[in-house]
Amino acid sequence: MNITLRVWRQKSRHETGHFEEYEAHDLNPNMSFLEMLDVVNEQLTKAGKQPIAFDHDCREGICGMCSCVINGEPHGPENKVATCQTYLRSFKDGDTITVEPFRAAGFPLVKDLVVDRSAFDRIMQAGGFISVNTGNAPDANAIPVGKEIADQAMDAAQCIGCGACVAACKNASAMLFVAAKVSHLNLLPQGQPEKSKRALAMVNQMDEEGFGACTVTGSCEAVCPKGISLSFISKLNRDYLGAMLFR
């Protein structure tokens, strides 16, 4: 399989970037997208050129670090997978594939396809803590949690913080990420004491980081590799309004 790779190259956030084209030949269609980038980087290194900088860790769709935009779609053409789970068989022999970093004010570019997503870490830190007793592990049934609530909390907790929702949103909103992270704690009994404070603090931090407002277009849910539902944004809005009224 042969492809033409059109990649965004930029040395730092302060320099002007541009697209560069590379030819990649004799590729295995069962390669992951990141394995293909490894092959291209090996060719560039042998030619004495700078390899393409891209981020990754688990390569199992868990960490979310591999995020990039492939042919205009965050994570690529497949549904509910991260970039590392996208395979060359999703493309055709002879295709030209355009690869870009996530573009958002809250995700400043570091180099090439790497962006700084530490804004998500600061939003999480703003959420504070949950009220759990330390010491010996409590009995599993000490705090009853209904199955429906437990399922909702687990659905929200699946968010890997990759930022695809931000990249797909026309406003670069992080509402789906924040909604998932607020909801998976606020739904459970352990998260109730800090529920109002958490909703206020995390939304306020999101605004401070420069993410846009949510206009509920649904583009975030469409590209989320874990299929996080828009319903969590509705829940966050209710929690936030309730916290404002309580305050």
Answer yes or no: do 234 and 127 share one domain. Answer: yes
Report which DSSP code applies to 192.
S
Question: Which of 81, 111, 141 is the endpoint of a domain?
Answer: 111
Question: Which of 111, 145, 167 is the endpoint of a domain?
Answer: 111
**Quick count: other Cβ atoms within 10 Å of Cβ 107?**
25
Answer yes or no: do 64 and 106 share one domain. Answer: yes
Answer yes or no: do 27 and 54 share one domain. Answer: yes
pLDDT for 35: 97
Query: Domain range holding 173?
Result: 117-246
pLDDT for 140: 64
pLDDT for 143: 81
Give the global pTM.
0.92
pLDDT digits (tens, 9 = 90+) for 113-161: 999 999 999 999 999 877 666 677 767 677 888 999 999 999 999 999 9
Report which DSSP code applies to 12.
S
pLDDT for 130: 74
Query: Which residues, listed in sequence order, are joined to residue 68 by a DSSP beta bridge?
Result: none
pLDDT for 80: 94
Dist. CA 223–CA 220, nearest whole Å: 6
Determine contact, residues 236/175, Cβ cutoff 8 Å.
yes
Question: Which of 63, 96, 111 is the endpoint of a domain?
Answer: 111
Answer yes or no: do 103 and 209 share one domain. Answer: no
Determine contact, residues 224/171, Cβ cutoff 8 Å.
no
Answer yes or no: do 148 and 80 share one domain. Answer: no
Number of domains the chain is built from: 2
pLDDT for 229: 96
Answer yes or no: do 38 and 147 share one domain. Answer: no
Answer yes or no: do 142 and 237 share one domain. Answer: yes
Look up the CATH number of the domain holding residue 238. Answer: 1.10.1060.10
pLDDT for 190: 85
* Ranges in the chain, pLDDT < 70: 131-134, 138, 140
